[in-house]
Homo-oligomer: A and B are copies of this chain.
Amino acid sequence: MTTPVLDARQRNILEAIVECYNQTAEPVSSRRIARDYEMGLSAATIRNTMADLEDLGYVTQPHTSAGRIPTEQGYRVYVDSMMTTEELSLREKQRIQDGYVSSNRDFEEIMEQTSKILSETSHYTGIAVSPELDESVLHRLELISIDSKHILAILLMASGVVKNQVVPITDNLSDEEVSRMSRIFNEKFAGLPLKQIRQTAQLKAVFDQYPSEPMAVVVHHTLSLDSEIHVYIDGASNFFSQPEFGDIQKIEPLFRVLERKEQVADLLSAPPSEFGTQVLIGSESGCEGMEMCSIVRSNYRTQGNQFGTIGVIGPTRMAYPRVVSIVKFTAEVISQFFEPSLMNFGG
């Protein structure tokens, strides 16, 4: 399907409709555009053009005698080829960066702060999704003997993330045995992604050098750690301030979706081909309950070349230029946190 080309006037009027509707949340009338946007055209002329835009599918009328509101298709061309993504002011950039000062650069804390900062600066719902641990590269494993029945396995990931796992053991192992185990493990596996380690570790032959029982237990438990993607959400209740969500029927399905973390993670995670910042408008997300929402998302990079996602969910009637700038800039800020100079222990 080829999108019909709009002439200059049609573009101007569509842009005016989008911007006016985004401010007021009410259908935009021809008179309003004639009055508020200096086009040198009368309301009647604008009416004609609006009828054209409606035929082309860019705007629609809630009812016969109402103004126009943009369709998803209308928003799509606006986002793709009309809006000018404004650079954030220094003040706002500072504000975003300041949001992180209190944090200890602890991974979880950064994620939490991110969702909060995104929601507070955008006034919509902020979301941060951790990278999939499974794809992440193991830098080193450390084993510590806790007591006669437990070992603590510490996984230092190349990304800077640290994960623990308590491993129950039956035999009492000496400190030497424990450190030998970690040495063997690291010789085999340090530098590989967890996923691959998991696959390889199933081959028993790998451990023929060592009495297989305790080693197998340790490996098994170590690798069975929670590899879930974590999702951090903040500012969901900002939706209550949006007039078009002033109705329970409108807002309930949305909150039901936001409570299913895995679904939110899928929603935010871009197809691997696409990097950078994207906008999903309305039903483009393909998510039931999110038809009235748009998503602005962006990738960040952790050190092990892992990618996580952050984003903002708001009403379709969203301040796109601003939100795109915020999400993009915040993703850059996070990526910096994970840059070698700051967090390197993967020399």
Interface status of A165 (Cβ within 8 A of chain B):
yes
Q: In the complex, A181 Cα to B313 Cα: how many Å?
A: 48
Q: In the complex, A99 Cα to B304 Cα: how many Å?
A: 34
Q: In the complex, A109 Cα to B224 Cα: how many Å?
A: 13
Question: CB within 8 A of A259: which of B147, B235, B246?
Answer: B235
B156 in contact with A162 (CB, 8 Å):
no
Given contacts A164-B164, A235-B259, is CB(A147)–CB(B344) below 8 Å? yes
B144 in contact with A154 (CB, 8 Å):
yes
Interface size class of A (residues with CB under 8 A): 35 or more
Interchain nearest-CB distance for A14 vs B (Å): 32
| Chain B residues, Cβ within 8 Å of A256 | 237, 240
Question: CB within 8 A of A237: which of B108, B162, B255?
Answer: B255
Given contacts A142-B144, A146-B345, A154-B144, is CB(A252)–CB(B237) below 8 Å? yes
B104 in contact with A224 (CB, 8 Å):
yes
Interface status of A105 (Cβ within 8 A of chain B):
yes
Q: How would residues 224 to 239 of chain A score, 1 for a CB under 8 Å from any chain B CB and 0 otherwise?
A: 1110000000111100
Q: In the complex, A347 Cα to B146 Cα: how many Å?
A: 10
Q: In the complex, A39 Cα to B86 Cα: how many Å?
A: 73
Given contacts A109-B226, A255-B240, is CB(A152)–CB(B149) below 8 Å? no
Interface status of A208 (Cβ within 8 A of chain B):
no
Interchain nearest-CB distance for A223 vs B (Å): 11
B104 in contact with A149 (CB, 8 Å):
no
| Chain B residues, Cβ within 8 Å of A226 | 104, 106, 108-109
Q: In the complex, A258 Cα to B248 Cα: how many Å?
A: 18
Q: Which of A142-189 contact B (CB under 8 A)?
A: 142, 144, 146-150, 152, 154, 156, 160, 162, 164-166
B235 in contact with A240 (CB, 8 Å):
no
Interface status of A251 (Cβ within 8 A of chain B):
yes
| Chain B residues, Cβ within 8 Å of A224 | 104
Interface status of A36 (Cβ within 8 A of chain B):
no
Select from chain B the residue with minimum beta-carbon distance to A247.
Answer: B248
Question: CB within 8 A of A225: which of B104, B144, B150, B235?
Answer: B104
| Chain B residues, Cβ within 8 Å of A146 | 140, 156, 345
| Chain B residues, Cβ within 8 Å of A140 | 146
Question: CB within 8 A of A106: which of B225, B251, B343?
Answer: B225
| Chain B residues, Cβ within 8 Å of A104 | 165, 224-226
| Chain B residues, Cβ within 8 Å of A247 | 248
- A interface, CB within 8 angstroms of B: 104-106, 108-109, 140, 142, 144, 146-150, 152, 154, 156, 160, 162, 164-166, 224-226, 234-237, 240, 246-248, 251-252, 255-256, 259, 343-345, 347
Question: Could you show 17 A-B contacts with beta carbons less than 8 Å apart?
Answer: A104-B225, A106-B225, A109-B226, A142-B144, A147-B344, A149-B344, A152-B156, A152-B162, A154-B164, A160-B166, A166-B343, A234-B259, A236-B255, A236-B259, A247-B248, A248-B251, A255-B255
